[in-house]
Amino acid sequence: MTGTTITAQPGTPFIEVTREFAAPKPAVFRAHTEPDLVKQWLGPRDLEMEILEFDARSGGSYRYVHRADRGEFRFRGVFHSVEEDSRIIQTFEFEGAPGEVCLETMTLTETDGGTRVQVRSVFPSVEARDAMVASGMESGIVEGYEQLDELLAKEA
């Protein structure tokens, strides 16, 4: 396992995230596609997650809400391509910024002793990408992946 690397080059509409987990690809894939598992790790620790819809198959969709004392944050998207244990291509939209949909490609690669997750998000503009970076998404990603580490260790 290594730390989370988040890259957002200035002037580009991309965010790239890389993280290694000490778990086999099938376990990491399941944690991204089974709603009962997703609910246990996705997002910051201080948010409660409710999954409203989660159909992780090509053509399926998802919708969930994160809640905290400071408010609700709703997200939705469509799974365009789900390739078991290897890749997921999906859209991602924060309902508080309608129309600012990004396209995310997550690939899983086997490593010595684990799985590398690489996510590339493409935003409709540099401004939309910059707004996402300014939203505090980095801490949510880092905390979420820490919780995923904990979940994968329990599931082993």
The DSSP line for the chain is -EEEEEE--TTSSEEEEEEEESS-HHHHHHHHH-HHHHHHHSS-TT-EEEEEEE--STT-EEEEEEEETTEEEEEEEEEEEEETTTEEEEEEEETTSTT--EEEEEEEEEETTEEEEEEEEE-SSHHHHHHHHHTTHHHHHHHHHHHHHHHHHHH-
For residue range 25-49, list pLDDT tens digits in order: 999 999 999 999 999 999 999 999 9
pLDDT at 1: 52
- The model's pTM is 0.94
Alpha carbons within 13 angstroms on the beta-carbon side of residue 149 total: 15
Distance (Å, whole) CA 82 – CA 108: 12
Label the pairing between strands 14-21 and 102-111. Answer: unpaired
Residues with pLDDT less than 50, the chain = none
CATH number of 24-117+126-139: 3.30.530.20
Q: Is 72 in contact with 78 (CB distance < 8 Å)?
A: no
pLDDT at 70: 87
pLDDT at 97: 87
> Which structure tokens are listed for 49?
């997650």
